[in-house]
Amino acid sequence: MKKILLSLSMIAVVGVVVAGATGAFFSDTETSTGNTFTAGAIDLKVDSQCHYYQYVGGQSGPNGDGYVDVGCTDPDETGPVVMGNWSETDLENGVHKFFSFDDLKPGDKGEDTISLHVYDNDAWGRVLMTLGGSLDNTCTEPEGSAENNPGCDSDGELLSAMLPGFSMWLDQGSTPGFQCVGPDGVPVVSCPDTTEGDNVWQSYEGQPWSLTDEKEFSSVLTNAYNTGDGEDSCGDLGGSVDGHNNYLLCHGLALDGRMVGSTTYYFGLNWNLPWSTGNEVQTDSLSGDIAFEVEQHRNNPSPFDL
């Protein structure tokens, strides 16, 4: 009987061990923590360099055409207004003005070299210029005689005189793309393309367009990408330069005309009051707004709700 009890005890112990073993399983846990979504950003910065040309006659002036740059400072502006010249920044309404001139004469003309910087994603871009009505203000005797109108009315003639002269072009210089500003936003010392952003239109930069309405940059940038022959055409170099940003040939140009993120784009903006303008514009004034807009490029085949 003692032996039997002993044997039963051994069986009970073994049973406990086996039962305990059946409660453990191989296992593994992999945990991913701190998952986040962060939206990208598109931020447009603008800088401007203003030039105001007046005719002094003869062969004076850097271009031998009788014009000199007299500068764009308006002594009559008060407060924090920035007239024509500022470094890369966000524009403030009523503060940053591309134009503010109050004593124009027939033959005067000017130009703004405008730099656009999109940080730091690719984007579609466009410019919109909205010109308000031209006001007659006061009427001088010569103005009334020229208008065959002895009195003043509210509508001036300065808008019709100046409207054909507003034009814009891509000031990329002789080398396709933009190589004269480095990745840190600082101009490259001794940039080989001396006509990039030089505020002078050259025929190889493409035809200026009339700035009388909105203008998308895509057609202009696509044309710049495809213009030229052989080594001078980005399109002839293949896809390796399509939208690249390595600050070499074709930097910032893409076949679809998008603005490549973190590229510095130069645009020239011209205006003039024609020599043929007569007394009918005396004391008239003209005001307007210029807006630059960008929209994301990715997932956006029809920008600006077109």
Res 236 pLDDT > 50 = yes
Res 237 pLDDT > 90 = no
Give the pLDDT confidence of 247-272 residue by residue, as tens digits: 888 999 999 999 999 999 999 999 99
Give the pLDDT confidence of 17-41 residue by residue, as tens digits: 555 555 689 999 999 999 999 999 9
Where do runs of H (alpha helix) occur along the chain? 2-21, 141-146, 158-162, 217-226
Dist. CA 126–CA 306, nearest whole Å: 12
pTM (2 d.p.): 0.83
State the pLDDT at residue 5: 43
Give the pLDDT confidence of 183-199 residue by residue, as tens digits: 777 888 888 899 999 98
Looking at mean pLDDT, say which of 70-79, 224-233, 283-292 comes out highest: 283-292
Higher local confidence (pLDDT), 246 or 79? 246
Using alpha carbons, list the distances in angstroms from residue 160 to 134, 164, 212, 285, 290.
Answer: 8, 8, 11, 11, 18
Res 110 pLDDT > 50 = yes
Q: Average model confidence (pLDDT) for the chain?
A: 84
State the pLDDT at residue 299: 97
Using alpha carbons, list the distances in angstroms from residue 141 to 77, 151, 202.
Answer: 28, 9, 42
Phi, psi of 154 (to 5 degrees): -80, -20
State the pLDDT at residue 140: 73
**pLDDT band of 66, cuts 50, 70, 90:** confident
State the pLDDT at residue 149: 59
**pLDDT band of 51, cuts 50, 70, 90:** very high
